[in-house]
Chain A
Amino acid sequence: MRREVPLFITLIVGVVFVLQYFIPHYPFNRMNGWFSDWFSIVAAFAIWLGALNLLKISFMKIINRKSDWFYALVIILSFGLMVTVGFAGGEAYREPGTVFSWLYDHVYTPLSATMFAILAFFVASASYRAFRARNLEASLLLGAAFFVMLGRVPIGDWLTSFLPEGYRLPQLATWIMNFPQTAGQRAIMIGIALGLVSTSLRIILGIERSHLGSE
């Protein structure tokens, strides 16, 4: 029951998804529709599971008076506030003028944008380590990043303004992105596709079982 049923479910669902591509007719198209709907419902429950788990851990932190328990309380209160105004707002919860949309615009958006923005500083320190031209490979990495960054800002155009049109830094950056970058990206994408196809086959056939965990 603990291993056989999940393996059977994976096999059936995986095979139906593959078959419906080649035979897009009844009953496979119908089953594909159901499975897609169920997928989005289960995915919603999975996100809820994550949120409820976060609440559970936060409550445990407060009850056991662990260090930083106050921030666990803040998490619970913020979550509670967002959920309350979200349910209270009804179907139009996201419309401009609702409390939910106000919280989204003035709390969620600034926080998420700043969270990603400060990564610029960490990226800068990572660049210092990665971009030391120790060998040819590292120099190519450095050169490509340098020309792409410089080619995307006005100073790049200004620095090479004495060159004829078409040979300036912005055009070089575009050339790097369009050709050598595309070639490398394509090799990586084809490699990923081959790996994904073989891994998917292994999962569907039950050879790969690590996602089920131990007994």
Chain B
Amino acid sequence: MDHFAVWIAAFLTMGIVSFLYKDNPWYKLSEAIFVGISAGYWFIALFWDSIYSKFWLGKEADPFLWVGVFLGVLMLLRLIPKIGWISRWPLAFIVGCTSGLYLINFLASNLMRQVQATIQPLFGPDFGASLYAAVGSIVIVVGTFSGLVYFFFSKEHKGAFGATAKLGIWFIMITFGASFGYTVMSRMSLLIGRIDFLLTDWLGLIR
């Protein structure tokens, strides 16, 4: 069974990798299996974890939960074109929930906490912080402020304002570069994992 599992995984892995050469039937087969399996996975996971656990998991279900089921069924009406417009009601519910939640959460965490984390004393009461940390704090204040100035488009980027915006774009470019480098590293580590699987588990070339 283990050998069979390894061969299946290797067959599918090579199928996806074959796309690097060109689009081909092996890739299309692996891709179709991936689409079907992942759709099935989420279908089942949401049934057991979201629906079953709320209604049947050995406890009295709150009757108000059926309103959620009703809204969910309305969502499925989208599959019937003639009455598909009713699916806007559950969609409006989802959009309302997300808007209300984001309005508060982003205001509290992304705005207030980030501002609070930026405005920090350079040194502690006993001047305990290192020069390294103090310089870092200045870099963060200057970078955050100039980055925000760059995003302010209601005033033309000229003079001192333009120079600050220019500094802001430099910081944003460093952010993009560092994030890009990080993404490349994570993809590379996934690739190394797959190559390691092929060479170790499948072909047995590395022991």
Q: Which A residues are closer than 8 A to B by beta carbons? A: 2, 5-7, 9-18, 21, 34-54, 56, 68, 71-72, 74-83, 86-87, 91, 93-94, 100, 102-121, 123-124, 127, 130, 136-138, 140-149, 152, 175-194, 196-197, 199-201, 203-204, 211-213
Contacts and interface: CB of A to CB of B under 8 A. Distances in A.
A47 B90 contact: no
B175 A180 contact: yes
B173 A141 contact: yes
Contact of B174 (A72, A110, A140, A189): A140
Give the secondary structure class of A's interface: helix
B36 A176 contact: no
A38 B90 CA distance: 10
13 contacts: A17-B100, A78-B37, A86-B41, A108-B41, A120-B191, A127-B180, A138-B173, A141-B174, A182-B143, A183-B143, A203-B96, A204-B96, A204-B103
B175 A83 contact: no
B36 A76 contact: yes
Interface of B: 5-6, 8-10, 12-13, 16-17, 19-20, 28-48, 50-52, 54, 62, 64-65, 67-69, 71-73, 75-76, 78-79, 85, 88-97, 99-104, 106-107, 109-111, 114-115, 117-118, 136, 139-148, 150-151, 168-185, 187-188, 190-191, 193-194, 197
Contacts of A39: 68, 93-94, 97
Contact of A107 (B37, B65, B95): B37
Contacts of B41: 82, 86, 104, 108
Contact of B139 (A86, A180, A197): A180
A111 B30 contact: yes
B87 to A, nearest CB: 8
Given A187-B143, A192-B110, A203-B99, A120 B187 contact: yes
B121 to A, nearest CB: 17
A3 to B, nearest CB: 8
A68 B142 CA distance: 56
B143 A41 contact: no
A46 B94 contact: yes
**Shortest beta-carbon contacts, A-B, top 4:** A183-B143, A187-B147, A17-B100, A82-B40
A124 B181 CA distance: 11
Nearest to B145: A187
A147 to B, nearest CB: 8
Nearest to A204: B99
B181 to A, nearest CB: 4
A144 B85 contact: no
A137 B5 contact: no
Nearest to A190: B114
A188 B175 contact: yes
A57 to B, nearest CB: 11
Contact of A149 (B89, B103, B150, B185): B185
Contacts of B140: 179, 182-183, 186
